[in-house]
Structure 1
Amino acid sequence: MVRTSMGLLAGVVAATFMTSALAEGAGISGGVVKVGVLTDMSGPFSDLAGKGSIAAVKMAVDDFVATAKPSFKVEMISADHQNKIDIAASTARKWYDSDGVDVIVDAINSGVALAVSNVARAQNKMLIVTGSGTTSLTNEQCTPNTISYTWDTYAYAKGTARLVKGQDLDSWYFVAVDYALGKSLVNEATAALKATGGKIAGVVYHPIAASDFSSFILQAQASKAKVVALANAGGDLLNSIKAANDFAVSPGQRLVPIIGTITEVHALGPKATQGMLLLEPFYWNQSEASRTWSKRYKEVTGKMPNFVQAGAYSATMNYLKAVKAVGADDPAAVMKYLKSHPINDIYARNGRIREDGRMVYDLNIVEVKKPSEISEAWDYYTIKEVIPGDEAFQPLAESRCKLVKR
């Protein structure tokens, strides 16, 4: 009887295991989950995302397969959208329609992100935006298929206003990129500054990937505004900071990059950026987990990750975990899981994905160290303050997303 009972028990355990394994992959179309990285490989955002984002997503895929040992295959493909909306949309459509892509990540460039979001909804696939920050993704153009995972212009504008509060920096002049990102940053920052009694001295828009920033910086300098705010990103931000240094904008005026990252700090060096205050969603040295992962990333790429690249890793890993948990790649099922489970990992602290698709989590205010304070390579930041996610991001009460229950 003992042997029979033990045999029955073993059979039940084996059957249960096999049933669980089969159930895990039963809802996976074709038995393969495919992740597409749609990024800027050759333009002004290539250092901010580009090959670095692709490397981060590959790390996530490899780590997931090694640790979760899923019953389904995981594959990854990538493409350069060239910062052209038509190329981005057609690539996404082909990926979703013909190539079996289940989710697209990165989508840096706000125009690209909005276009791909529309395609994802039409094809009933998923998009996790880790590169672009337009708040339209979680407001007027929100969809049940898109997540805005890393940053947005509302949080950065509000955070920037918080940076200078109480420092008598009440007049601002914007040098902004002339497309959705720059306009959204200017609009959001203007509202945040006026709410704290600030004044807007003016704004000048420059084309994306401008070759010469001298005229734009000279206009900002001539305004006599206390702050010259740079509402651009990637290569444009790097070149505008160089121009501002060439024309000695500081210390007469405070230079505030609204979307500065460790990529630009490293490129310019701490001597040129020391004392600069930045809002950073991620810093490689913010925790033991982030340090360990970032050093692995550096072994692969030769550089420490910025928040776009770390966010791409986190988004991919959490997406794959959700697929495994629900046993399906159905967007509605995966999204339901992601919106009902907290996210705490190498990237996010106290993270949660809301009904409008916005991932809310804690953000850092950092200060660039003096060269004499740096103890190791890439040790550029001192974390001055942590802003709780609910204070950083747009509250649901202000949301214009039709998915938000009133």
Structure 2
Amino acid sequence: MEFRSTSRRALLGTAALAGAAVLPGRPTRAQSDGAAKPKLRLGIITDLSGPYADLSRPAEACARQALEDFGVSGRGWDVDILVADHQNKTDIAAATARRWFDQEGVDALVDVSTSATALAVNGLAREKNKVFLATEPGTSELTGASCSPNTIHWVWDTAMLARSLGSTVLAQGGDSWFFLGADYAFGHQMVRDTTAVVQARGGKIAGSVFHPFPGTSDFSAFLLRAQSSRAKVLSLCNSGADLINTVKQAREFGVNRSMRIVGMITYDTVIHSLGLETAQGMQIAATYYWDLNDRTRAWQARVQPKTPTLYPNMGTAGIYSAVTHYLKTAADMGIAEAKRDGRATIARMKSMPTDDDCFGMGTIREDGRKMHPVYILEAKKPFESKHSWDLLKTVATVSPEDAFRPLNEGGCPLVRG
């Protein structure tokens, strides 16, 4: 399967000429207009035309499923979902968020799928006292120095990947590492967090190199430099189409014969695009996979008609989880109050336990970190797979406390004591 940008691109083209690619006049409405009803507006800002497009395409479907499963129509609520393409540009993400807050009446932002764009929106949500539920960005700064009383970081972060997957690879003998990362906030944070874990456990760092993002298609020079380091592990700190192309080119150059290739953030969507012939044996860390248990399998069956060609990954399943908890919170405190004070809404969300079909039961810490188990999954051999999305098997489960960075190590100003 080729890793292609979303088929929506044609629909988004006209809007993109004016800046962010927004889907105007096409919000998801929980029920038709009529008499005045309690109303919420949610906004999804994500990558719909770049290297992360296939990762993000199920986003709206997952949000819609949250509305259906929560039964907003039966409650007499009116809920809109707006969708925009940030094109991996911080200025577009920030301008979209500001316009939605100031002019479109958006109450909560969900997703914002890259670290740089998420950090830009993070400050704006705080300034406007709105809710920001970060489900796809990875930077651990969102629960560190940049933590905010208006933000919850929902699915994963670079510290979690370093602690769970990094520790697993070290325990399997991968004690010398070379990093190839994307040259933006996520790539640099991923390298820093993994370096700290490797060195703390006695491993060695042979070097690192960063490729331009977005726009790199030829990774040969970076791969040859990695190969010459003689490290045992090639740690790829990029994602989406960049990760796919890096893995394919690494095999072409035979790098995989001398180094273990570890994609630090490898979604099941990426495994599907690589194919099991190429991906078999690769291990990933994930907080959600459709075949984990009966609840995840039942949820996948419900959402699949809305996204028939791409199964949701942990990032987009996180949208379902985050929107579900937000709706529960709005019901608990009242829609008017939830709309009035984003900071109070986030505080109430933190005080309530989480539970949904994608992530199960969990909690939210005072630094804004959503806590849930992490799974070490391994790509199946081709003969083990029953169908095209039967890709992974669970090899270990890591507790939230072991997987995520300890509360007192992040440097979040919200943490007391």
1:271 and 2:277 matched: yes
Match of 2:386 in 1: 375
Match of 1:157 in 2: 162
Return the alpha-carbon distance in structure 2 between the equivalents of residues 200 and 136 of structure 1: 23
Distance 1:153 1:86, change over 3 A: same
Answer whether contact 2:299 2:358 (CA < 8 A) is retained.
no
Opposite residue 211 of structure 1, the aligned amino acid is S
Match of 2:238 in 1: 232
Answer whether contact 2:227 2:255 (CA < 8 A) is retained.
yes
Return the alpha-carbon distance in structure 1 between the equivalents of residues 412 and 177 of structure 2: 30
Answer whether contact 1:135 1:154 (CA < 8 A) is retained.
yes
Opposite residue 142 of structure 1, the aligned amino acid is C
The Cα shift of 1:30 comes to: 8.1
The Cα shift of 1:372 comes to: 1.2
Match of 2:399 in 1: 388
Matched position secondary structure for 2:71: helix
Match of 1:139 in 2: 144
Unaligned runs of 5+ in 1: 1-28
The Cα shift of 1:253 comes to: 0.9
Return the alpha-carbon distance in structure 2 between the equivalents of residues 349 and 192 of structure 1: 28
Answer whether contact 2:133 2:151 (CA < 8 A) is retained.
yes
Map 1:244-393 to 2 at 5 A: 244-302=250-308, 303-327=310-334, 328-329=337-338, 330-393=341-404
Unaligned runs of 5+ in 2: 1-35
Opposite residue 194 of structure 1, the aligned amino acid is Q
**What are the superposed Cα offsets for residues 296-325 of structure 1, whole Å, 9 maximum, x if unpaired?**
322221221111111111111111111011
Match of 1:93 in 2: 98
Counterpart among 75, 91, 103 of residue 80 in structure 2 = 75
Matched position secondary structure for 1:48: helix
Matched position secondary structure for 2:194: helix
Answer whether contact 1:280 1:307 (CA < 8 A) is retained.
yes
- Report how many aligned residue pairs link the two structures: 376
The Cα shift of 1:218 comes to: 1.3
Answer whether contact 1:70 1:324 (CA < 8 A) is retained.
no
Identity percentage of aligned residues: 42
Matched position secondary structure for 1:47: helix
Q: Which has the larger radius of gyration?
A: 1
Answer whether contact 2:88 2:117 (CA < 8 A) is retained.
yes
The Cα shift of 1:168 comes to: 2.2
Matched position secondary structure for 1:182: helix
Return the alpha-carbon distance in structure 1 between the equivalents of residues 171 and 410 of structure 2: 28
Opposite residue 344 of structure 1, the aligned amino acid is D
Opposite residue 115 of structure 1, the aligned amino acid is A
Opposite residue 297 of structure 1, the aligned amino acid is V
Match of 1:110 in 2: 115
Distance 1:31 1:350, change over 3 A: closer
Return the alpha-carbon distance in structure 2 between the equivalents of residues 332 and 86 of structure 1: 24
Match of 1:52 in 2: 58
Return the alpha-carbon distance in structure 1 between the equivalents of residues 67 and 45 of structure 2: 16
**What are the superposed Cα offsets for residues 53-93 of structure 1, whole Å, 9 maximum, x if unpaired?**
12211222233235x73243111111111111111111101
Matched position secondary structure for 1:351: strand
Matched position secondary structure for 2:59: helix
Match of 1:41 in 2: 48
- Structure 1-normalised TM-score? 0.90
Matched position secondary structure for 1:151: coil
Answer whether contact 1:350 1:362 (CA < 8 A) is retained.
no
Matched position secondary structure for 2:42: strand
1:202 and 2:213 matched: no
Return the alpha-carbon distance in structure 2 between the equivalents of residues 264 and 132 of structure 1: 16
Return the alpha-carbon distance in structure 1 between the equivalents of residues 37 and 298 of structure 2: 35
Matched position secondary structure for 2:118: helix
Opposite residue 191 of structure 1, the aligned amino acid is A
The Cα shift of 1:334 comes to: 2.1
Matched position secondary structure for 1:131: coil
- Structure 2-normalised TM-score? 0.87
Return the alpha-carbon distance in structure 1 between the equivalents of residues 397 and 172 of structure 2: 19
Match of 1:15 in 2: none
